[in-house]
Chains A and B, each alone.
Chain A
């Protein structure tokens, strides 16, 4: 069974204090790994897709990286507006091209000014 585990569950940072969020996954053939941001009362907002180990993608203060067993979301010099829950999801190639995403429970990030 495909599984995604995110850590920590919650993270508090001071503005400007860089850190990383972890997403560990177990999947029989990775087709893609996705990062989403979710603000309270809203739907998840797409950030990145990573397809193969060694791949990296950046957007403003965020950088996502991928290995064969985990992905990291690095946040450099965060600002209060980066406060949100960050969700990781995997799409397995073993399901014959299925579009199904399996999500982790997320990391709730709070950045204090």
Chain B
């Protein structure tokens, strides 16, 4: 399997612009997670989905952030409008509960810089 795929790998944008991050989970996985990593706060869960349905979005910082999962093989995280404090590395992860395992497998991340 190719693992979790994220695009773009790097994104540089200006304050106020819309940013869309994309994720393709591992085939067959039924959970998908979006995390944000910064030096100050470490790795934080933003939102996660089970079978394409959002389960917990309590980590989403504010209404400027939104996430969707239209099907089992694709998810997006959108920031509109973006602000400099959104600069971070955003990771997508997926897992499969069918065999009782909780292991989350991470993608390579998207490094977002908002100028």
**Chain A residues in contact with chain B, CB under 8 A?**
31-32, 34, 36, 41-46, 49, 87, 89, 91, 98-106
Q: How far is the CA of A44 from the CA of B92 in the complex (A)?
A: 10
Closest-CB distance, B48 to chain A (whole angstroms): 6
Q: How far is the CA of A41 from the CA of B110 in the complex (A)?
A: 10
Select from chain A the residue with minimum beta-carbon distance to B92.
A43
Task: Tell me if B54 counts as interface (CB < 8 A to partner A).
Answer: no
User: Which of A42, A101, A105 lies in contact with B104, CB distance below 8 A?
Assistant: A101
Task: Tell me if B31 counts as interface (CB < 8 A to partner A).
Answer: yes
Q: How far is the CA of A46 from the CA of B103 in the complex (A)?
A: 7
17 sample A-B contacts, Cβ–Cβ < 8 Å, listed by A number: A31-B102, A34-B104, A43-B4, A43-B107, A44-B43, A45-B106, A46-B103, A46-B104, A49-B101, A89-B43, A98-B56, A99-B31, A99-B50, A99-B97, A100-B56, A101-B104, A102-B45
**Chain B residues in contact with chain A, CB under 8 A?**
4, 31, 33, 42-45, 48, 50, 55-56, 91, 93, 95, 97, 101-109
Q: How far is the CA of A89 from the CA of B104 in the complex (A)?
A: 11
State whether A49 and B42 are in contact (beta carbons under 8 Å apart), knowing that A43-B4, A43-B108, A99-B31 are contacts in the complex: no
Contact B109 A49, beta carbon cutoff 8 Å: no
Residues of B within 8 A of A43 (CB): 4, 91, 93, 106-109
Q: How far is the CA of A41 from the CA of B103 in the complex (A)?
A: 21
Q: How far is the CA of A30 from the CA of B4 in the complex (A)?
A: 27
Q: How far is the CA of A80 from the CA of B7 in the complex (A)?
A: 31
